[in-house]
């Protein structure tokens, strides 16, 4: 027997605001039968179809150390660098730049609450179809 991942949960100062940011990043949406709201302790977004989503829980304490788990994003319709620029415009912050002159590498960004995530090259940039 095995277990499936139901969702990835983020503790946050403002779960609603963070769900809005990540919804713009991923294209995930709230559950139409159980929408998100600023006063909710839990705010969920997902891709639907029974696939794992992201749950943002509002907690009183702030983030104090580096994440031990983070998301790696692969752009679907643009290059890695174009996606980094889009995410910066949404409110992310560039944390560590591991992009190399030959086009390989990745960028580590922080979401508005300081959670680390990486942006890798798109499949097209890797030569995958």
Query: Is 2 domain-assigned?
Result: no
Dig out the tokens for 15 from the structure. Answer: 């779960």
Identify the pLDDT of residue 129: 55
Does the reported pTM lie above 0.85?
yes
**What CA–CA distance (Å, rounded) separates 125 from 73?**
14
Distance of CA 55 to the CA centre of its chain: 11
Q: Are residues 37 and 78 in the same domain?
A: no
Q: What does the chain come to in residues?
A: 129
Identify the pLDDT of residue 50: 86
Tokens 């909710």: give the residue. 40
- Residues 115 and 105: beta-carbon distance below 8 Å: no
Q: What is the mean pLDDT of residues 46-66?
A: 92
pLDDT band at 64 (very low <50, low <70, confident <90, very high): confident
**Predicted confidence (pLDDT) per residue in 84-95, tens digit:** 999 999 999 999
Q: How many domains does the chain fold into?
A: 2
Q: Are residues 44 and 84 in the same domain?
A: no
β-strands 107-110, 116-119 pairing: antiparallel
Domain of 13?
Answer: 7-58
Tokens 């304490």: give the residue. 61
pLDDT band at 128 (very low <50, low <70, confident <90, very high): confident
Residue-averaged pLDDT of the chain? 95
């Amino acid at each position: 027997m095995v277990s499936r991942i139901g969702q990835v949960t983020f503790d946050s100062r403002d779960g609603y605001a963070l769900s809005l940011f990540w919804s713009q990043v991923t294209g995930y949406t709230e559950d139409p039968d159980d929408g998100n709201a600023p006063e909710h302790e839990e705010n969920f977004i997902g891709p639907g179809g029974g696939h794992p989503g992201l749950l943002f829980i509002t907690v009183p304490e702030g983030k104090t150390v580096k994440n031990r788990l983070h998301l790696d994003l692969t752009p679907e319709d643009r290059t890695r660098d174009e996606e980094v620029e889009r995410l910066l415009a949404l409110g992310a912050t560039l944390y560590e730049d591991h992009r190399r002159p030959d086009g390989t590498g990745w960028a580590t960004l922080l979401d508005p609450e300081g959670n680390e995530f990486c942006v890798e090259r798109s499949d097209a940039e890797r030569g995958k179809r």
